[in-house]
Copies of this chain bind each other. A is one copy, B any other.
Amino acid sequence: MDDDVHESAPAPAAPARTRRRPRAATTERRAEILRAAAHTFGTKGYKNGSLAEVAEQVGITHAGVLHHFGSKEALLVEVLEWRDKEDVRHLEGQHIPGGAELFRHLVRTARMNVERRGIVQGYTVLTGESVTENHPARGWVLDRFTILRSEIAAAIREVGGDAVSDELAARAASAIIGVMDGLQVQWLLDDSVDLPEATAFAIEAILSSALAGVDRPHPLA
């Protein structure tokens, strides 16, 4: 999908097939556009955010943006991929940790998120939009949930052992993701919601129930 852009190295023995050589500053230019697009899609949503607004932030026209990304939808896809990479880069240990460390990581993330409201808003708006018909970000959101769920479920079983059933672990994993996302919405609308504290409390609650109440019947059922 995405041919990588090397600086330096003129590559004398180029692949000869498609020979398009971007300029040196192009990589940074694309990154600027990506940042602007993330901001616009984050604050206005994908449908409501315009290419013109994205372009204006980097001082070009909307056609200039299309030159780099081809279409609005392609831009969105790249924004999503770019954000994934950025997220991972923030993690020093390369990838998301497992076991008990994962839960500490989730709480840390919530704490960090208070300082990057824009990112959270973008995630929230896009996730909400994604459940509409034929939304281009639907696949991405779905994948994200699926992966996250399996990672969290694995961590739960790693901590709780085989006593925790697959179903229970899956339920708890969904609940943890859900409570994180749901609290973000409330926090975005109302600062008086204490995002980190509520997140920490909820994750602990769900986790301890998953580990302790393995076969306990549900009083609310």
Q: Which residues of A pack against B, CB within 8 Å?
A: 43-45, 47-48, 103-104, 107, 121, 124-125, 127-133, 138, 141-142, 145-146, 149, 168, 171-172, 174-175, 177-186, 188-190, 193-194, 197-198, 200-206, 208-210, 213, 218-221
Contact = CB atoms under 8 A, between A and B. Distances in A.
Given A201-B171, A208-B205, A220 B128 contact: no
A183 B127 CA distance: 12
Nearest to A139: B189
Q: So how many copies of this chain end up in the complex?
A: 2
Main secondary structure on chain A at its contact with chain B?
A: helix
A129 B131 contact: no
A72 to B, nearest CB: 14
Contact of A146 (B43, B121, B182, B190): B190
Contacts of A141: 189
Nearest to A124: B131
A220 B171 contact: no
B185 A171 contact: no
Contacts of A47: 45, 47-48
Contacts of A174: 183, 186, 193-194, 198
A181 B189 CA distance: 14
Contact of A175 (B43, B44, B205, B208): B205
Contacts of A149: 186
A178 B198 contact: yes
Contacts of A121: 131-132
B189 A185 contact: no
